[in-house]
Structure 1
Amino acid sequence: MNPPDKPLLKPLSPQDWESLIEDFQQGGPRHHKWTAPDLLQSLIDQAFTSLLKKDFLLKLPLLLFLEEFSETFFTHETHLNRLLESLRAVIQSPLDGVTISYYLKEQFMVSTTSIFVTVNALEKFHARFIEGLVELLVLVINRPNHSMDRQTRAIACECLRELEKCWPCLLSNIGGHLWSLCQNERSHACQSYLLLFTSVVFNIVNTKLNVSILNTSVPLVPFNVPQWVLSGGDENGIGM
């Protein structure tokens, strides 16, 4: 009987991650020694495992590392799926003030959004991944006037606005719900809600999209990418 295959990488300690991140940032041979496909797969598996460990203290640097080298790491649907599942786990985790904080949740949302935009997720991968990300962000903002997480909700609005900027009219079907949230929000986060809503309105008007800005007949979740976004504006609804 053949011995079992050895893992490509031993479990990486925080010190190992610091050294690896430095190798990537240095470029050249130090970077390329990590870029074999099987090795990259092992790295990303360990990265997501580490991000969800309570005792792992380099969550923020590791998130920023994955964001910086997103085009290297996120080349397959399974990678985006792991990213979304990790984001979901962090968003849904209760705060403990140490391993799970509002700041970690906020940075996780920002980094995930940045990765999706950088890798052009809607064009290169199935729409369900963008739909999953929008749903997670919408669930965060859909609790107006909850004072404790107002900054986190504002960040989620900014992430949604970035997605709407990248793919105009992505959120056009939920404009009415966004307007209702704007009306109900009384904290400083209201500014982010309003900026998100006005971005959606601008894109609807700018593309001459034939939808009602205040329509709420389409549910907030589950979210579906509008057909006219998937078709690049060639379907009924966008006038040129």
Structure 2
Amino acid sequence: MGQQECFANLVRLRQELYADPGNEAVSVGLHYSDVVKVLVDDRQDESSQLALLLMLQEAGSSYHSEKTAYDAVESLKSAYGAVRRTTRYNVQSQTLITMTTIMLSQQSANDTRLYELVELLVENVVQVKRNHPLVRAAGCSCLREIEIFHPGFLAKHMEQLWGTFGKDNSWACQALALVLAVGTTPTTPTGNGSDEPARSLHEVSSLLGSMHLMTPLAAAAVMQSLLANFGGFLPP
């Protein structure tokens, strides 16, 4: 299937989805393997690949069948494995965003599938030297959205993300700070009856100390999340 034909099928898919919410439009003959072929073909123009991803994201967020949505995500994972070996950082970033958007559009998200996506996103975020800041920032944005939709979902990854925050000197650390502010909650050490949050003194202080390096909008979002999670426990 050529690029033009693939785009035409996506347009038809989108039209049919909006025309009839119960129709998954299998008649259009769109196979996600064809989408993958376009994404991994370095002869394709990068702007065309981005347009393809955005169109797939728009159609994918309207799927009413979990199987259809998961098929799309799995195909995009395959494409990402190849795209991440290139220097097309915009395509890498948009692939992560498209996968996350499609997954979060499913109201009854499959925990296993979502955990697999989180693992992929965390892997991209913590590899500071290997991955471009643009890709890591996109991964952080995706993780933040997942945590907002499913509070506590990132709990087992928080220590790893905090460790990365101390190593990342790029502008992507601002996006990571937004994830940490949303995902960090007061904890009481095991066996200790104190109400003092274990993380309020060290980890939250490091976030507060870095706010002067953030844009006003990002700093406000970090503070809003910390106030929501910690309230009166915030250090002065």
Normalising by structure 1, what TM-score? 0.64
Report 1 or 2 for greater relative contact order, CA contacts < 8 Å, sequence distance ≥ 6: 1
Q: How does 1:1-240 map to 2 (within 5 A)?
A: 11=1, 13-23=2-12, 27=15, 35=23, 37-39=25-27, 42-57=30-45, 58-73=48-63, 75-77=65-67, 79-81=69-71, 83-91=73-81, 93=83, 95-97=85-87, 101-120=88-107, 123-125=108-110, 127-144=111-128, 146=129, 149-201=132-184, 204-205=185-186
Secondary structure of the residue aligned to 1:69 is helix
Distance in 2 separating the partners of 1:114 and 1:29:
17
Q: How far has the Cα of 1:168 moved from its partner?
A: 0.7
* Aligned residues of 2:39 and 2:79 also touching (Cα < 8 A): no
Q: How far has the Cα of 1:72 moved from its partner?
A: 4.5
* Aligned residues of 2:121 and 2:140 also touching (Cα < 8 A): yes
CA 1:89/1:40 → structure 2, altered by over 3 Å: closer, same or farther? same
Counterpart AA for 2:123: L
Secondary structure of the residue aligned to 1:155 is helix
Distance in 1 separating the partners of 2:36 and 2:141:
24
Give the aligned length: 189
CA 1:161/1:88 → structure 2, altered by over 3 Å: closer, same or farther? farther
Q: How far has the Cα of 1:151 moved from its partner?
A: 2.0
Q: How far has the Cα of 1:187 moved from its partner?
A: 1.5
Distance in 1 separating the partners of 2:142 and 2:17:
35
* Aligned residues of 1:137 and 1:156 also touching (Cα < 8 A): yes
| CA-based RMSD | 3.4
What is the CA deviation profile of residues 120-163 of structure 1, one whole-angstrom value per residue up to 9, with x for unaligned ones?
3xx243x211011001111101123x286122111111111111
1 or 2, which has the higher helix percentage? 2
In structure 1, the gaps of 5 or more residues are: 1-10, 215-240
In structure 2, the gaps of 5 or more residues are: 191-196, 200-236
Q: How far has the Cα of 1:55 moved from its partner?
A: 3.5
Q: How far has the Cα of 1:41 moved from its partner?
A: 6.0
Distance in 2 separating the partners of 1:21 and 1:37:
10
Secondary structure of the residue aligned to 1:184 is coil
Secondary structure of the residue aligned to 2:169 is coil
* Aligned residues of 1:157 and 1:192 also touching (Cα < 8 A): yes
Counterpart AA for 1:104: V
80-89 or 132-141: which moved more? Answer: 80-89
Distance in 2 separating the partners of 1:86 and 1:40:
19
Secondary structure of the residue aligned to 1:186 is coil
